[in-house]
Structure 1
Amino acid sequence: MNNALRMPVVLGLASLMLVACASKTPSPNWALEAQSASERAVQAYLKGQTRVADVEWSKAFNEVAGTGLPSQMARMALLQCAAQTAALELTDCPRFQRYGAGAEPAEQAYARYLQGAHTAADVPLLPQAQQAMATQLLTAAQAGVGLPAAQALSQLTAAGVALRAGAITKAQVQQAVEVASQQGWRRAVMAWLLVERRGAQDAGDAAALQVLDLRLQVLQEGLRKDELKNDMKSELKSELKK
């Protein structure tokens, strides 16, 4: 097995996708197709384009399935789960669970991290961008720790893991909102704004609530009924009525 198959899971879209060949050998067509489809899937998903994302994920997994390798399916499933974590659709990564027995140790460690169930032994196996957050969650050292200086998806995934663990700070929530906003990722922006809104509501901060409600109103402009999942639309309506 070459080194590319042993590399730690990285949240960069290109590096997360497995390439079953050496660096000087052209990538096989299935790998290129799967990478391209997964990149489109992640972008569509985070923007709230659910139907487009579903189609692209189907393409990506279909290409990977052609290899007959559980490790490839597990790697792709982790990318999907990371994107879901970034947008606070917190699941137990069922597709990874299906193929996780065939995953490399680094990927199994990353799967545990996404669930907030990692250990100290897992930290060195994680992508560098996630190691600070992983350590923070194990030591409860929240003070002064921001999101990792990394790609936007990595930052939001780290924030999602922290939220899942109940150890996220107000500053990290605000940073997550701005990271998602800069990318124009409507689904992620909405999810994180709702978290920030709940915090403002709990604090009785009427001024902050007014600002956040206006931002949420902007997000609804031009939004097609089929672009976001019903549960998120329902949550938004429920939050705004409070």
Structure 2
Amino acid sequence: MKILVLLGALALAGCASKPVPPDWQADAKGALDGFTDDYLKGNTAAAEAEFRQARLATTATGRADHVAQVELVRCAAQAASLVFEDCPGYATLAADATATQRAYADYLAGRWQGLDPELLPEQHRPVLAGGPIGAVADPLARLVAAGAAFKAGRITPEGIAQAVETASNQGWRRPLLTWLGIQAQRADAAGDAAAATQIRRRIALAAGQR
């Protein structure tokens, strides 16, 4: 899958007339693409193996910002699935990360107060300003935006519904189960037993229980 915005620093040269990029870039990008796909599909062991390969490729450069970018891809995939573990791999590199990387890490963690939108990837800037999750065109970026908004306490019911349908349409089991769980909790809180029951039937189906 394509995660070009998150991997700008790792993008491959697109023109044959340009110098061939070093092997570590291609290795890291291929492994990160595999990691993201496997992680979102719920293939944990495969995702962890791909991530280790990506990190190993970038550590060979001795550049903290390159390794931080890899860690932020993992943080974004986790945010899309509402897994918030404070990104410990990135945290150890934060002092040597770029300003845009630090801003993106704050965005993912829901630390939106005083955050400069110009430091964020372009598609996330409207979300920071209160724009709808559904306006984010890229499916992965849309889920990441929903996760960040949830962490910031700014998610709306419409945003949750967008996250559910995005994960469903892409066949991304891990975030689908998590976001459906949020929908079920909200239905319970609203006293809507019928809706909660229907959502839990969908959870069971997505989890392979039916």
TM-score > 0.5 by shorter chain: yes
Gaps of 5+ in 2: none
**Contact 1:120 1:135 (C-alpha < 8 Å) held by counterparts:** no
**CA-CA distance at 1:118 after TM superposition:** 3.3
Equivalent residue for 2:81? 87
**CA-CA distance at 1:115 after TM superposition:** 1.3
**CA-CA distance at 1:64 after TM superposition:** 0.6
Q: Does 1:101 align with 2:92?
A: no
In the superposition, the TM-score normalised over structure 2's length comes to 0.91
**Contact 1:133 1:147 (C-alpha < 8 Å) held by counterparts:** no
Give runs of aligned pairs for residues 15-164 of structure 1, distance below 5 A: 15-17=5-7, 18-19=9-10, 24-136=18-130, 145-164=132-151
Amino acid aligned to 2:31 = A
How many aligned positions are there? 206
State the structure with bigger RCO (CA 8 A, min sep 6), 1 or 2: 1
Residues 1:149 and 1:202: Cα distance change in structure 2 (over 3 Å): same
Residues 1:215 and 1:107: Cα distance change in structure 2 (over 3 Å): same
In the superposition, the TM-score normalised over structure 1's length comes to 0.79
**Which one of the candidate residues 174, 188, 195 is aligned to 1:187?**
174
Match of 2:76, SS state, is helix
Q: Give the CA RMSD over aligned residues.
A: 2.1
**Contact 1:16 1:79 (C-alpha < 8 Å) held by counterparts:** yes
Q: Does 1:13 align with 2:3?
A: yes
Distance in 2 between residues matched to 1:164 and 1:21, nearest whole Å: 32
**Contact 1:147 1:159 (C-alpha < 8 Å) held by counterparts:** no
Amino acid aligned to 2:183 = E
**CA-CA distance at 1:16 after TM superposition:** 2.5
**Contact 1:147 1:155 (C-alpha < 8 Å) held by counterparts:** yes
Deviating above 6 A after TM superposition, structure 1's stretches of 4 or more consecutive aligned residues are 20-23
Residues 1:121 and 1:171: Cα distance change in structure 2 (over 3 Å): closer
- Alignment deviations for residues 41-95 of structure 1 (CA, whole Å, 9 cap, x no partner): 0111111111111111001101011111001011111111000000000121111
Match of 2:169, SS state, is helix
Amino acid aligned to 1:19 = L
**CA-CA distance at 1:119 after TM superposition:** 4.2
**CA-CA distance at 1:211 after TM superposition:** 1.7
